[in-house]
């Protein structure tokens, strides 16, 4: 069977596919903000209805948080092909700061840019545009052949951007239904605009959100300044102490479980010729800030980090106020690698913090859960088949790469369901995911859809 008819069908259907994606982008499914709960529900309904138009048996499945969308479709009767599962997330990040957007984040538009046409809008790249690439590939396949080449399960979540609180119990309760031969996750990027990629390792994530309290109320800094310890001074000293002069994290035991690169991965990454000056230059920076002696790709993909994501306290309004505040707060995140244990790092961080609080000070934590890093084994022949299929579609051969971001479900597929996950996506570094003016190149959407058709062909041929 030739793949050309399916690819031609995808080409012809691109305008309609783009229109469908724009419909989905108009639904403001921000999972972290309770004000948008109804919109998350509507996005799930939209996907169920869309999958049903392809003949997929899809339903919305309620959870205690936002609903899951699960759909199944059988392959040809009697086929012994693999059973594939596609995962993506339909929720999106909040849009603030809204004033930095050039247009309404939920009124998507196709724009001409020097890098080609883009679809501008929140969720276009992370992850609605990516999620729709495999839906569109299946739609085209079904239209041409009347059926899909193998059994496929679709699993779309609406809580990824808010830490997936319902995901693990849902996977445990529906383990049999959700177990396939391999999970295909479309939520990562290309290596470069012409170089497709299969991501083989993701960093884990641990968040901490806390407030320290010193004096029992805000004080006049003339009456108390000098005798009373200022919580902002305490907080900034604690935060400043988290890194040493070589860029390493100082928490005792932090590097337990951090592996050195294997020779195989080191040579894969060397072959990528990563241009870190261009990567940093694009965001207005010049120098890598990671640990001394590490390569730029190691800093992003295989070394753990600690970052302050937000810090607040005291008077931040207009004008001047001589206050000595009662409280100071911060949000931190740690990116984890190897077998670093999020719980052990939380304990190490909290004891460092509490050891450095002056007498009489207290701390309150808002607990966030953590997820360990994940490393995919590429021994399943499906990986090389998919890599060849990507290479056939794009100008340059597909690479195996790492990813500095976190997609905890990749590890849960292995841990809870015993299945490998293959991470393939078509986002670009300049997509501005999680930022104002997010976009997805029309080429990413179009060639992404064509890539999935080729991968389906390669895995079932």
Interacting residue with ligand BES among 73, 212, 398, 407 (CB under 6 A): 407
Interacting residue with ligand BES among 189, 313, 370, 448 (CB under 6 A): 189
Number of alpha carbons in the 13 Å side-chain half-sphere of residue 161: 22
Check residue 161 for interaction with ligand BES (CB under 6 A): yes
- Residue 160 Cβ, how far from ligand BES at the closest point, in Å? 5
- Determine which helix (DSSP H) or strand (DSSP E) holds 298, and give its type and residue range: helix 296-301
The angle formed by the CA atoms of residues 311, 315 and 316, to the nearest 5 degrees, is: 65
Closer by beta carbon to Mn ion, 161 or else 341:
161
Interacting residue with Mn ion among 39, 127, 192, 443 (CB under 5 A): 127
Say if residue 25 is exposed, middle or buried (CB neighbours under 10 Å; 0-12, 13-18, 19+): buried
Check residue 374 for interaction with ligand BES (CB under 6 A): no
Cα(272)–Cα(307) distance, integer angstroms? 27
Q: Of all residues in this chain, which one has the CB nearest to ligand BES in the complex?
A: 405
Interacting residue with ligand BES among 231, 372, 405, 411 (CB under 6 A): 405
Piece of the chain touching ligand BES by CB under 6 A; list 4-12, 20-28, 155-163, 450-458: 155-163
Residue 188: which of ligand BES, Mn ion, none does it interact with, CB under 5 to 8 A by kind?
Answer: ligand BES
Residue 18: which of Mn ion, ligand BES, none does it interact with, CB under 5 to 8 A by kind?
Answer: none
Cα(135)–Cα(452) distance, integer angstroms? 9
How many Cβ atoms are within 10 Å of 316's Cβ, its own excluded?
7
Give 60's strand partners.
Answer: 69
Interacting residue with ligand BES among 163, 165, 247, 257 (CB under 6 A): 163
Closer by beta carbon to ligand BES, 161 or else 291:
161
**Buried b / exposed e along 297-313 (16+ C-beta atoms within 10 A):** bbbbbbbbbbeeeeeeb
In a 3-state reduction of DSSP, which class is residue 364?
strand
Check residue 187 for interaction with Mn ion (CB under 5 A): yes
Interacting residue with Mn ion among 91, 126, 208, 393 (CB under 5 A): 126
Contacts for 58 with CB less than 8 Å, ≥ 6 apart? 47, 48, 51, 52, 69, 70, 71, 72, 154
Check residue 206 for interaction with ligand BES (CB under 6 A): no
Closer by beta carbon to ligand BES, 219 or else 373:
373
Interacting residue with ligand BES among 295, 305, 375, 406 (CB under 6 A): 406
Q: Which phi-psi region, left, alpha or beta, contains residue 152 (left: φ > 0; alpha: ψ -120 to 50)?
A: beta
Check residue 91 for interaction with Mn ion (CB under 5 A): no
Closer by beta carbon to ligand BES, 145 or else 414:
414
Cα(61)–Cα(171) distance, integer angstroms? 12
Per the structure block, which two tokens stand in for 393? 């579609």
- Residue 191 Cβ, how far from ligand BES at the closest point, in Å? 11
Positions touching ligand BES (CB under 6 A) are 126-127, 160-161, 163, 187-189, 205, 403, 405-408
Positions touching Mn ion (CB under 5 A) are 126-127, 187
């Amino acid at each position: 069977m030739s793949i050309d008819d399916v690819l031609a069908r995808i080409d012809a259907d691109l305008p309609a596919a783009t229109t469908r994606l724009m419909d989905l982008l108009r639904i403001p499914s921000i999972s972290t903000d309770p004000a948008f709960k109804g919109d998350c529900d509507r996005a799930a309904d939209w996907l169920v209805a869309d999958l049903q138009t392809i003949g997929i048996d899809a339903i919305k499945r309620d959870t205690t948080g936002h609903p899951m969308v699960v759909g199944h479709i059988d392959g040809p009767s009697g086929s012994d092909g693999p059973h594939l599962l596609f995962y993506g997330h339909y929720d999106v990040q909040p849009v603030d700061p809204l004033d930095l957007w050039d247009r309404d984040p939920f009124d998507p538009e196709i724009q001409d840019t020097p890098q080609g046409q883009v679809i501008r809008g929140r969720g276009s790249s992370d992850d609605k545009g990516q999620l729709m690439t495999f839906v569109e590939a299946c739609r085209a396949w079904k239209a041409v052949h009347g059926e899909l080449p193998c059994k496929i399960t679709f699993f779309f979540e609406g809580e990824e951007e808010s830490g997936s609180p319902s995901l693990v119990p849902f996977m445990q309760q529906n383990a049999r239904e959700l177990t396939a031969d391999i999970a295909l996750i479309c939520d990562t990027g290309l290596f470069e605009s012409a170089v497709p990629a299969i991501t083989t390792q993701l960093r884990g994530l641990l968040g901490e959100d806390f407030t320290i309290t010193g004096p029992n109320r805000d004080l006049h800094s003339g009456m108390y300044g000098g005798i009373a310890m200022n919580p902002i001074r305490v907080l900034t000293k604690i935060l400043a102490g988290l890194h040493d002069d070589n860029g390493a994290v100082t928490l005792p035991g932090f590097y337990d479980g951090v592996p050195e690169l294997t020779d195989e991965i080191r040579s894969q990454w060397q072959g990528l010729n990563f241009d870190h000056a261009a990567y940093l230059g694009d965001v207005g920076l010049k120098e890598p800030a990671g640990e001394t002696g590490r390569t730029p790709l190691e800093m992003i993909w295989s070394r753990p980090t600690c970052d302050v994501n937000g810090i607040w306290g005291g008077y931040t309004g207009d004008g001047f106020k001589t206050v000595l505040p009662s409280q100071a707060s911060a949000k931190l995140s740690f990116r984890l690698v190897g077998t670093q244990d999020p719980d052990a790092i939380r304990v190490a961080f909290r004891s460092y913090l509490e050891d450095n609080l002056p007498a009489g000070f207290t701390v309150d934590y808002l607990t966030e859960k953590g997820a360990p890093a994940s490393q995919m084994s590429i021994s399943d022949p499906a990986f090389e088949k998919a890599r060849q299929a990507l290479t056939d579609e794009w100008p340059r051969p597909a690479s195996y790469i790492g990813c500095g971001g976190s997609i905890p479900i990749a590890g849960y597929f292995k841990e809870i369901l015993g299945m490998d996950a293959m991470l393939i996506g078509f986002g670009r570094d300049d997509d501005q995911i999680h930022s104002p003016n997010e976009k997805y190149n029309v080429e990413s959407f179009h060639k992404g859809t064509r890539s999935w058709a080729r991968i389906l062909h390669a895995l079932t041929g």
